[in-house]
Amino acid sequence: MTVGLSNQKSEVRSQKSEVRSRKSETRGWRIETRSWRSETGDRKGLFMKQTKHLVLLALFVSQALILSIIESWIAIPSPVPGVKLGLANIITLVTIVFFSLRDVLGVVTVRTLLGSLLGGGLVLFPFSFAGGLLSGIVMYILYKKTGKSFSLLGISIAGAITHNLGQLAVAAVMTGGFAVFGYLPVLMVSGIVMGCFIGLVTNLLINALKKTRMFV
């Protein structure tokens, strides 16, 4: 009788042990499932964020390209060739505010390449690329690395002036002389005027964009 009771107790303990083991396995499975779901959700969120990032950059490139084409239709009376409104700098400035330097350089490169192909051939690409690259880097440094010491208006003016300097440097290399820098005073004045206009427009656009959830 005693042996039977002992066996029954042993069986009960064994069953309880099995139940605990199953519960432990179930908890482990649930934890693993939650972990897998969390990792999957993180990957999905990262993928969506990267996709949104690329879509916005592609949108900026297309907008900058459209502005460049519109700008080519506007003739500005000037004694010096090459004076333009610089409308594409609006998009460059917006990219600087919301994205990284790599993104800025990518937008400038693709925009100048496509703009040259559609607007006048690859002969114009070195001028557009040099001006866009130099102005993009200078504006990025002034905006991101100087502790907000410069307003968008001042940064836009600096970008317009350095854009003209970049184009003059390429022209000097191609012509083998520095005579083209004789145009610098006129281009400096035009850069200040156009930079003020671009800076004002960009400031209004950025304030409007910050009110949206586009860059969240």
Q: Which of 164, 73, 56, 64 is nearest to 114 (CA)?
A: 64
pLDDT (0 to 100) of residue 68: 86
Which tokens is 166 given? 């970049």
Q: Domain 49-210 falls in which CATH fold?
A: Arp2/3 complex 21 kDa subunit ARPC3 (1.10.1760)
Q: What is the pLDDT of residues 29-71, one digit of tens each?
A: 666 666 655 566 566 667 678 888 899 999 999 999 999 888 8
Nearest-5° Cα angle at 161, 160 to 167: 90
**pLDDT for 24 beyond 70:** no
Question: Count H helices, E strands: the chain?
Answer: 6, 0
Alpha helices, DSSP H, located in 73-122: 88-98, 101-119
Q: Which of 113, 169, 102, 170 is nearest to 136 (CA)?
A: 102
The alpha carbon of 55 is separated from its chain's Cα centroid by a whole number of angstroms, namely: 10
Predicted TM-score (pTM) above 0.85: no
Q: Is residue 165 within 8 Å of 216, Cβ to Cβ? A: no
Other C-beta atoms closer than 10 Å to the C-beta of 79 total: 7
In the chain, what are the domain boundaries? 49-210
Q: What is the pLDDT of residues 129-182, one digit of tens each?
A: 999 999 999 999 999 988 778 899 999 999 999 999 999 999 899 888 888 888
